[in-house]
Amino acid sequence: MSAYTKTMTEGSEFRSIIGFTLPLLFGNLFQQFYNIVDSVIVGQYLGKEALEAVGSTGSITYLFYALCIGLSLGAGIMIAQNFGAGNDKKVKSYIANSAYVTGIFGVVLTILSVILAPTALKLMSTSETVFDQAVEYMRTACAGTIAVAAYNWINAVMRSLGNSRIPLIFLVVASVLNVGLDLLLVMGFQTGVTGAALATVLAQAISAGGCIIFAFMKFPQFRMSREEAAFNRKAVRNCITTGMPIALQNMFISISMIYLQRTANTFGDNVIATYTATMRVEQLIQQPFMSLSTALSTFVSQNIGAGHLDRCIRGYRRSMLAMAGFAVFMLVIFGLFSGNIVGFFVGDNDVIEIGNVALKLSACFYLFLGTIHTTRGILNGAGDVNYAMVNGFVEVIGRIGFATLLSMISEIGCWAVWLTSGLTWFITGVMILIRYKSGRWKYHGIGYDKNGKNEVSG
């Protein structure tokens, strides 16, 4: 066992999960700091129209990022299960072959996203007043899709080996660099929204490169023989079949967010700017839920590989209690300070007034949002990835259905945008709990044969 790897198959379940969660949380917060810095500098220095242009690209840009993230998570599940089972040769093979998959998909998605940017923004009914700026921002941001793919791949590999601290260190450095580049390019060289996107892309690329170099230097799992690093058709197939359902889930969710963005666009500039600001806040608030979910997924993957199903269940129950506490805490915070929070992003009084109510409305549904993330962690970790597609499809139906219906009710007006998200979280949360309670995830995920026998740990 290397000093840079850690098994989570023994000891206190909750201590293992929380100890793994905290570095992930700080890392995710710094990653969101990229987006916050973009929004603050763009909104306060370049104005409301520039902020609207940046916000108009968020959902469609994430669509391409989401595919890369999903494939990385799939690879991480296979690596973690074999790491928990002590199959070192398979761990190395999956690391190498997941890199091949990530590289190919990353290049293809980078090219497609840059080419399709104008078409995608037109389909979203992006305002003509900000269309050109939105295209510039999106093309620059999407040119860094390969960097996003590389970073998420190396991050997923390190997490699967029990290390969530090293990626955090590189993210801290990159976030500081991102701030400096934002100030230099946007305020110094007057490069507008393009400079804000370029600053984020460069910071992400540096973070990815640093992590990969460090991994080859310090992690023994990256020191492979030619045979271990060889192309393995089964490993590639498992990485794709495990990662693709998660990628499709992310894609479905992203499509539903694109539709919601399109709905927000129909309510005018103030609502668009408000939606952009509240989405930045929501992305920030989701980080504890997402970090806990990722930690639980790694914990469950390793323990499934080791054959410790009882530890998986205990870890999930304790994680749900921690999630519920945070959800209630944020409900109180937003009830008191939502107007001040929106004002941090933009100085327009009309936008602040709308955002004050919007954040309070969203906070009422955070318990369901946390339930989705936490339960998704145990299902994905166990390899029950096919349900991920179902879960994502439910979100598509929810967002499109509620957005269409609620926006037609004049008494609800623009609040349909935020109420749609809350109601979608509610129905998705209920459905994923039903899946967990059914127990089907225990023996029907990756790593089990048709008779329920664990093929990883034997």
73-97: per-residue pLDDT in tens?
A: 888 999 998 999 888 999 999 999 9
Average pLDDT rounded to a whole number, residues 117-126: 85
Residue 39, in any domain of the structure: yes
Residue 49, in any domain of the structure: yes
Per-residue pLDDT at 444: 58
Domain of 396, in residue numbers: 13-442
Residue 405, in any domain of the structure: yes
Residue 7, in any domain of the structure: no
Residue 156, in any domain of the structure: yes
Report which residue type is found at 185.
L
- Answer yes or no: is pLDDT of 166 > 80: yes
Residue 4, in any domain of the structure: no
Average pLDDT rounded to a whole number, residues 23-35: 76
Residue 456, in any domain of the structure: no
Full-prediction pTM beyond 0.85?
no
The model's pLDDT over 315-356, given as tens digits with 9 standing for 90+, comes to 999 999 999 999 999 999 888 888 787 877 667 788 888 888
- Answer yes or no: is pLDDT of 291 > 70: yes
Distances in Å between the Cα of 442 and the Cα atoms of 175, 371, 453 are: 39, 18, 11
Residue 402, in any domain of the structure: yes
15: how many CB neighbours lie within 10 A of its CB?
A: 11
The model's pLDDT over 379-435, given as tens digits with 9 standing for 90+, comes to 999 888 888 778 888 888 999 999 999 988 888 888 999 899 999 999 999 999 999
Task: Band the pLDDT of 255: cuts 50, 70, 90.
Answer: confident
Percent of the chain with pLDDT over 90: 36
Question: Going by C-beta distance under 8 Å and a sequence separation of 6 or more, which residues neighbour residue 406?
Answer: 412, 415, 416, 419, 420
Count of the separate structural domains present in the chain? 1
Helix axes 145-160, 166-182, angle to 10 degrees: 160
The model's pLDDT over 433-452, given as tens digits with 9 standing for 90+, comes to 999 999 888 875 555 554 54
The model's pLDDT over 36-68, given as tens digits with 9 standing for 90+, comes to 666 777 777 787 778 778 777 877 787 788 888
